[in-house]
Chains A and B, each alone.
Chain A
Amino acid sequence: MSAVMLDSQVPQPPQTPLRRVSAWFFRHPTLTLFSLLAVPMAWMVVVYLGSLSALLAQSFFRLDGFTGRIVREFGLSTYEQLFTAANIDIVVRTTVMAAAVTVAGALIAFPLAYYTARFAPPRLKTFLYLAVLLPLWSSYLVRVYTWKIILAQEGIITWVFDLLGLRGILDGILAIPGIGGPSLSFSYLGMFLVFVYIWLPYMVLPIMTALERVPNSLVEASSDLGARPRYTFRRIILPLAFPGVVAGSIFTFSLTLGDYIIPQVIGNSSFFIGQVVYAQQGTAGNIPLAAAFTVVPVVIMLIYLLIARRLGAFNAL
């Protein structure tokens, strides 16, 4: 066998110029790294952070009420405008909605992700993965308008409640002040349902990933040391999956904070942050106020992340 190996000669690869370039890069790893990262870094710094700081700068300008022109001087008068009662209402309304959507999303997503990650046999797992992802492949707008029809007075939900003779319950829910309205499609409750539906995949996927990364031996070790399943869940699985829940909640929370289409299509036409930004920078031409409103979700998210860190959400990372 060894004789055969020695007899047949393997030729050296030809020395092409490209090979020499590769060799040069091999000898200079730092420059290699730099040339690979230059374009994405430029994108990150110039386009991404640049536009963000431009936005921040805009928020310190103000709109001259008489001329309708933007006064490019540093000042806080736009922020004073932000803190009027009506605008604070909008901020609170949006934040409460985002929080509710996030909590509901986590409650629905966790069991689904838990089953998929830990118990589902491989084929069912693939199916469930696809089922979660599938809605993301179709148009967001189409899905929102579909929900408007589903939730409408003449929609399928009302029809089902009628069919089961439970119309009274639906009317009772819609009569609850604060979340109700003339029909589901004109209520906060309806808006909430659509938000939860639309953002659910963004909650399920990070939790699923986090749960899949918990080695089964940890669960076995906990059980081996005497912990019943509930205890193991609370002390081992939940803490280790928590970063996934936080990651998912960052998505659902910030996406809800910034969305301007769902509140426009579904609900009782009271404003949310996204709509205000849209209206101020468009028809009203008040770019500084639009910018100031955009800063609000950024600040809320920063506070949110600080709280999450306090709670130890990133300890297991």
Chain B
Amino acid sequence: MSAASRTDAEAAVVLKGVSKHFGGVKALDYIDLEIYDGEFFSMLGPSGSGKTTSLRIVAGFEQPTAGRVMLYGRDVTTTPPFDRDVNTVFQDYALFPHMTVEQNVGYGLMIRKVNRHEIQRRVGEMLEMVRLPGTQARRPSQLSGGQRQRIALARALINRPRVLLLDEPLGALDLKLRQQMQIELKAIQREVGITFIFVTHDQEEALTMSDRLAVFNHGRIEQIGAPADVYERPLTAFVAGFVGTTNILTDDIAQRLVGRPAALSIRPEKIRLLPQGTTPDPDQFAASGTVRDVIYVGMTTRFIVALDGGGELEVVSQNLDTRAEEAFAARGTPMVAVWHKSAMRELSTAGA
């Protein structure tokens, strides 16, 4: 959306030189990050990359070893979680088992001493919004995983926080429900208009939902940008491999293609396999090889091509009018892999 393009937008959350060490382990190693007001921001990375630690530092559950945390211009580095204007949706939902849905959702308002009727009314509204009206009297144990997830969301949003933190909230849901919740979460974010910070290890989820995302690896941020930007123009080999799949070409083949040692990334879906002997256009690269394996995955087919000069190339092609039998017949045949020069990215080798 527009949030990514706003350079002078008000910063909702700023992390300045934040580090977090657990004993000798650097969970976060000097992070600088700026999250704009009203954007859907994802922190993407494998487990142990520091994304959850970053979120917990914003929430106030962890104190950074070094650095500062700003929330709408206010330094909250040492502010306890109960005095921060942020709320969290936990990975395990963390619903209070001894309370009803109404008591769970109304918990934040009860602390703020809002009167009983007002709490009832607003809990009703929130349940309406997460599409679980009439569940007030139920207990968390009587709800399904997806329903608990919605209640946790309602409970976190009822305080109208300025920033909502979500710690892999969809991780425990099955695929269909997860996809449905992705769309709903996005819609709710648009409706309430507050900043969402979303932690996930699922790159597809991050690409689907975010205005911008940060890719974490080994306690550092490797790249920040809009999803399309990060996907199309990865800066490091790690980002290229973690966000989507990619072929990384180095050594001899890189030397041959660009005339110098480099690390090159080319997405499998950007490559086309053509019959042997085809000459590429001037704005295309080509590499010849033999199809070693064919994997049929329904919507697409993946070809593993053993390149003549050594190395392998993964190619994905849509099954537009290819039938499975035809795809399988390609096994063992020599082919030419062809791709557009602009589709290939040169990666910084520092991160690899």
**Chain A residues near B (Cβ < 8 Å):** 215, 217-218, 220-228, 231, 236, 239-240, 315-316
A226–B88 Cα gap in the complex (Å)?
A: 11
- Given A218-B94, A220-B81, 8 new contacts (CB under 8 A): A215-B92, A220-B94, A221-B88, A221-B95, A224-B86, A225-B111, A226-B82, A316-B97
Q: Are A227 and B90 in contact (CB under 8 A)?
A: no
Closest 7 pairs between A and B when the two form their complex, measured CB to CB: A221-B94, A217-B94, A225-B108, A316-B98, A226-B111, A223-B81, A224-B88
Name the contact of A227 in the complex, choosing from B82, B91, B98 (C-beta under 8 A).
B82
Chain B residues engaging chain A, CB cutoff 8 angstroms = 59-61, 80-83, 86-88, 90-92, 94-98, 107-108, 111-112, 155-156, 159
Chain A residues with CB under 8 Å of B86's CB are 224
Give the nearest-CB partner of B81 in chain A. A223
A-B interface pairs (CB < 8 A), number: 62
Q: CA separation between A315 and B103, bound complex, in Å?
A: 15
Q: Which of A217, A224, A226, A228 contacts B112 (CB 8 A)?
A: A226
Cβ A215 vs Cβ B94 within 8 A: yes
Give the Cβ gap from A45 to chain B, nearest Cβ, in Å. Answer: 32
**Cα separation A93 to B90 with both chains bound (whole Å):** 51
- What is the bound-complex CA distance between A308 and B59, given in angstroms? 38
In the complex the two chains form, what is the Cα distance from A121 to B86 in whole Å?
A: 30
Residue of B nearest to A243 (CB): B98
Neighbouring B residues of A215 by C-beta, 8 Å: 92, 94
CB distance from B102 to the nearest CB of A (A): 14
- In the assembled complex, the CB of A313 is this many whole angstroms from the nearest CB of chain B, namely 11
Alpha-carbon gap, A220 to B98, bound state (A): 16
5 contacts between A and B (CB under 8 A): A217-B91, A225-B87, A225-B159, A316-B97, A316-B98
Q: Which residues of A contact B155 (CB under 8 A)?
A: 221, 225
Q: Which residues of A contact B81 (CB under 8 A)?
A: 220, 223-224
> How far is B159's CA from A240's CA once the two chains are assembled, in angstroms?
24
Cβ–Cβ < 8 Å partners of B107 in chain A: 222, 225, 227
Cα A227 to Cα B97 with chains together (Å)? 17
Q: Contacts of B156 on A, CB cut-off 8 Å?
A: 224-225
Q: Does A231 lie within 8 Å of B111, measured CB to CB?
A: yes
Given A236-B96, A240-B97, A316-B98, the answer on whether A226 and B108 have CB atoms closer than 8 Å is yes
Please judge, given known A-B contacts A220-B81, A225-B159, A227-B82, whether A239 and B111 are in contact too, CB under 8 Å.
no
Chain B min CB distance to A235 (Å): 8
A242 and B71 alpha carbons, distance in the complex (Å): 38
Residue of B nearest to A217 (CB): B94
CB neighbours of A316 from chain B (8 A): 97-98
**Alpha-carbon distance between A260 and B59 when the two chains are bound, in angstroms:** 56
> What's the Cα separation between A226 and B159 when bound, in Å?
9
- B82 and A228: CB pair below 8 A? yes
Contacts of A223 in B (CB 8 A): 60-61, 80-82
Whole-angstrom distance between the alpha carbons of A207 and B81 in the complex?
27
Tell me, in angstroms, the Cα distance from A113 to B91 when the chains sit together.
Answer: 27
With A220-B61, A239-B98, A315-B98 as given contacts, are A227 and B92 in contact (CB-CB < 8 Å)? no
Chain A residues, Cβ within 8 Å of B112? 226
A149-B92 Cα distance, complex, nearest whole Å = 54
